[in-house]
Amino acid sequence: MKIVKFGGSSLSSGVQIRKVFQIVKSDPERRIVVVSAPGKRFKGDVKITDLLLKLAEAILNEEKTAQIYEQIFLRYQAIGDFFKIPRSGIEQLKEHLYSVAQADYPSNDFFRAALSAQGENMSAHLITLIFKQLGLKARLLTPKEVGLTVSGEARKAQILPGSYAKIAKTKFTDNEVLIFPGFFGITKNGLINTFSRGGSDITGAILARGFGADLYENFTDVDSIYAVNPGLVADPAPIKEMTYNEMRELSYAGFAVFHDEAILPAIQGKIPICVKNTNRPEMPGTKIVPRDKVSHKNKITGIASSHHFQAIYLHRYLINREVGFTAKILKIMADLNISYEHMPSGIDDLTIILDKNQLTNGRKEKLTQRIKDEIQPDDLQWRNDYAIIMVVGEGLVNRVGAMADIVDPIRDAGISLTMVNQGSSEISIMLGVRPEDEQKAVKAIYNDHFENGHPKKELQIPRASFKSVSKSLIANFFV
């Protein structure tokens, strides 16, 4: 059984929803369909969720709302009309939305949560009607019915672990296709609460784990995840298959197909994930699977990069022999709610690499001052911005020549490295370069390992040898 999730662009219009219907109908294993709110139909279009949030603000500020309501309903009506759904169906949605908007909420944020969740809710209602109209045995299923219970602050919902057992008990009959609204769950008090990010991705991942699906299909508007950012390299190689950990390491430094945290429930349930394109469902997409399900191990699966980093460099004699020195610095960082990415240290030196987006509202100055006052380093310097490149592959590290494979093309491209980190993650190597060298460096590594949109042959290590390598690694290093 497959859980299928469709993003906003896949549900933005009648034409798109017809594709979705064909996809669902073509495979009887596609039993549970998680839907988003209608997204943009064209550049400059407005997403339903954004309209709903605008509506919430207008209501809170007691401003006029008629035009916003109109804009929302016209979107649903256009979709309904495309499939010749009786107007009474759309009227039901209207009544529903008015009643949600008029109810009482414990806070403004719970009001915003409830209203913004209606994009998915109304989508699910309408698509159930459409699928029935088109001849599928479709039924609406809701977070409340399956027991998708969440806790947490308003608009930062967290799944409650007990939910999975409840979801597993949900009954449905053969041939039935269930339509499920993404993006929200129900609190113990019966309130709607929305997830902070990843939206419907996380709902799909939760259901995949709860129902113990064979596959979680995530339909979006790209053919696959690529080995490198298409903005940096033209026509990059698609990734056919990768492990959960590869996905997570790549997401970390800039891959944005979906939010890595949003798929955690699927990872926890060991459910394979497939990213596919609604517009070209015949393309194989990208499969994301547990390590023991991968057919071969890539030396390099993907290369991600990001350039929003800065670093503090500290110098003090015998820094590495001084017990508690680093702890003091990290205490200061914790006090200021600043996390670090990486912290290379030498005999007299320590560098702390940070996401510079954290250094707003005078935090950079506060951090500098507190380190100066409390640590009294011999020297403290902020280093210029720089870029981090993550090279990721299950077969990358713990192998003769692993590092040489990466740094030789960097040298040949005439680029000097400001940082290299190998040793924690078993599947990635982290490099630092100047931001102006980022694209050139990524290209150099990519071109050395891929050609004509495919990995070079020697990049793949057959599964058989993978297993034996893996065993010896466990013996002396840990995998």
Closer to its own copies by Cβ: residue 238 or 344: 344
- Shortest distance, CB of residue 416 to its own copies, whole angstroms? 5
Per CB under 8 A, 429 contacts its own copies: yes
Q: Does 377 bind its own copies (CB under 8 A)?
A: no
> Contact 193/157 with Cβ under 8 angstroms?
yes
CB of 376 to its own copies, least distance (A): 15
Using CA atoms, how far apart are residues 218 and 305, in angstroms rounded to an integer?
24
Residue 419: Cβ within 10 Å count: 19
State which residue, 54 or 383, has the beta carbon closest to its own copies: 383
Q: How far is CA 410 from CA 288, 384, 471, in A?
A: 29, 20, 31
What residues are paired with 373 via a beta bridge?
none
For 465-473, the CB contacts below 8 A with 24+ separation are: 466/294, 466/296, 466/297, 466/394, 466/395, 469/398, 469/399, 473/398, 473/426
Q: By C-alpha distance, which of 290, 285, 272 is closest to 214?
A: 272
Q: Within a 10 A sphere around the Cβ of 349, how many other Cβ atoms?
A: 15
Under rule CB under 8 A, residue 324 binds its own copies: yes
Which residue number, 55 or 338, has a Cβ lying nearer to its own copies? Answer: 338
Q: Which residue has the tokens 């394979």?
A: 272
* Residue 50 interacting with its own copies (CB under 8 A): no
Q: Taking CB under 8 A as the rule, does residue 263 contact its own copies?
A: no
Q: Does 334 bind its own copies (CB under 8 A)?
A: yes
User: H-helix or E-strand containing 90?
Assistant: helix 87-102
Binding mask 221-260 for its own copies (x = CB under 8 A): ------------------------x--xx--x--------
The CA-based angle 166-203-291, given to 5 degrees, is 95
* The one segment of 87-95, 200-208, 399-407, 458-466 that binds its own copies by CB under 8 A: 399-407
What region does 212 belong to: left with phi over 0, alpha with psi -120 to 50, or beta?
left
Q: Which is nearer to its own copies, 192 or 429 (CB)?
A: 429
Stretch that binds its own copies, among 89-97, 232-240, 269-277, 341-349 (CB under 8 A): 341-349
Of 43, 95, 458, 478, the residue at the interface with its own copies (CB under 8 A) is 478
Does residue 477 touch its own copies according to CB under 8 A? yes
Q: Give the footprint of its own copies on this chain (CB under 8 A).
A: 245, 248-249, 252, 261, 264, 313, 317-318, 320-324, 326-327, 330-331, 333-334, 337-351, 381, 383-384, 398-404, 407-408, 410-411, 414-426, 428-430, 432, 434, 476-478
Binding site for substrate, residues? 153
Binding site for ATP, residues? 220-221, 226
Binding site, residues? 153, 220-221, 226
